[in-house]
Amino acid sequence: MTSAESIIVDGRRVALDEDGHLADPEQWTSAFARALADRDGIELSADHWWLIEFVRDYHETYETPPLMRVVVAALRKARNDSSIGSRELYRLFSDNPVRDGCRYAGLKKPDWCI
Amino acid sequence: MGQGDSDKVIFLIRAAPGSTSAVATQRAIRATSAVPSRAVTVFFHGEAVAAARGPAADWGGHHQSTAVQLLVCQAAWTRRFDDEPAAGFRTSSLVEFWTHVLAADQVGSVGDEALSESCVLRIRDISSDRDATEMLEIVLAGASLEIDLDVLFEAEAVAFLGAKPARKWRQLVDHGLATIWYVGDVDAVDGLQLAARPLDAKQIDDLIRGRILIDL
C-alpha cells in the first residue's frame, strides 16, 4: 500500500495510514474491525476476535506486538488444545497473522524486522 | 557469498561509528578478516547502522567483494535514514542475525566458540529508550527462533530494571521467552518492573560457561 486511504465505519470516514493500518489507534472500535473485514472479504470468526483481543491486550501490557510463538502458546491455553500450531493462525490470516492481527486491532504496523 | 568450509565469524556492532567501542570492534574485524580461512559477517544494529553511510572499505567490505559480509538491520536503518545504505552494505533482519549466530564458529572478537544454541546477552549500558527497545528486539528475534536465552544486566544497565520502559521486557519472563538476571545493588532495582533474578558476581562464569556470549 503506497498511499493513505480511509474506510467507512458506522457511517463515519476513518483514516488509514500508508500501511493500511488505523491512522489513530485511539479511534479503534470493534466496528472498525468489522468494516475492515467487509472490505477485505473476510468473515470474522470467534478465533479472529480472540486474536484481535489478544493482540490488543498484549500491546496494552507490553507496548509491543506478541511473537507468533507467544500467540500459539496462548491459543493452546485458551482452547486447552496442545495440538494447535501456527497453522491455525495462518488459517485466520494467511499472509501474516500477527501483523494482520495488529491491523485489525487498530495498532500500527510493527516496524521491527522480526 | 561462498563461505563453504571457512570458519564463520560474526560480529555484532551497536556502537556509533567513531566511538571507542566501534573503533575497537573495527580493529578486531580487520584482524579477523585478514585470516584467509575466515568468512566474516558484520551485523550493524542500533546507532552503528550509521556506518553504512560511509565506505564499506572501512569495515573490510568492498562493493562486489566476498571478503566481509556487511549486514545492516533494516528496522534500525529505516528509523534513522530515508536513503539506502552505501554500496557494499546490505539490509538484513534480526532473524538473519540469529541465523548467522547459530551457524557461526565464533561470535565476536573474544573467541567464543559458538558450539551451543544457548546464548547469554549481556547489557552493561543503555543510552536511551530507543536503545533499550532495539536491544529488546534482538532478544525477541532470538526468542522467536526458540533459542535458549538469558539476559544479564550489569553495571549502569541495572538501574533500567526499575524504570518504566522495562515493562516491555516483562514479556520475556511472563511468556517464558528468556530469563533475566542482574548483578548489582539491590537498592538500584527498587520498583522492579520485571521479574529479574539477582546473580552474584561469582556466578557469572557459571551462567556463561559453554554458551554464546553476546555483548549488546
- Give the CATH number for residue A53: 1.10.10.370
Which of residues 151 through 210 in chain B touch A, CB cutoff 8 A?
167-168, 170-171, 175-177
Copy the grid coordinates of residue B105: 564458529
What's the pTM? 0.87
Band (pLDDT 50/70/90 cuts) for residue B5 is low
Alpha carbons B50 and B48: distance in angstroms, whole number: 5
| Domain range for A44 | 6-104
Q: Is A64's CB within 8 Å of B143's CB?
A: no
CA nearest neighbour of B182 among B155, B211, B202 = B155
State how many domains chain A has: 1
Cα–Cα distance measured from residue B2 to residue B93, given in angstroms and rounded to the nearest whole number:
20
Chain B positions touching A62 (Cβ under 8 A) are 167-168, 170-171
What DSSP assignment string belongs to A6-53? Answer: EEEETTEEEEB-TTSSBSSGGG--HHHHHHHHHHHT----HHHHHHHH
Residue B32 has a pLDDT of 87
In a domain, A24, yes or no: yes
pLDDT computed for residue B7 by the predictor = 87
Interface test with B, best of A67, A71, A76 (most B CBs within 10 A): A67
What is the per-residue pLDDT across B33-86, written as a single tens digit (0 to 9) for each? 888 888 999 999 999 999 999 999 888 866 555 578 999 999 999 999 999 999
**Superfamily of domain B7-113, CATH level 4:** DsrEFH-like (3.40.1260.10)
Task: Classify residue A96: in a domain, yes or no.
Answer: yes
pLDDT of residue B201 exceeding 60, the answer is yes
Options 3.90.1300.10, 3.40.640.10, 3.40.1260.10, 3.40.50.970; which CATH number does B118-215 get? 3.40.1260.10
Answer for the pair B189, B160: CB distance below 8 angstroms, yes or no. Answer: no
Chain mean pLDDT for chain A: 93
Within a domain: A81 = yes
Across residues B21-44, what is the average pLDDT? Answer: 89
Same CATH topology for B7-113 and B118-215: the answer is yes
Q: Which residues of A are catalytic?
A: 113
Mean pLDDT of B130-139: 95
CA-to-CA distance for B28 and B213, rounded, in angstroms?
A: 16
pLDDT at B17 exceeding the cut of 90: yes
Q: What are A8-53's pLDDT values in tens digits?
A: 999 999 999 999 999 999 999 999 999 999 999 999 999 999 999 9
Q: With contact defined as beta carbons under 8 Å apart, do B105 and B8 qualify?
A: yes
Residues B141-167, mean pLDDT to the nearest whole number: 90
What are the domain boundaries of chain B? 7-113, 118-215
Q: Which residue shows C-alpha cell 520502559?
A: B165
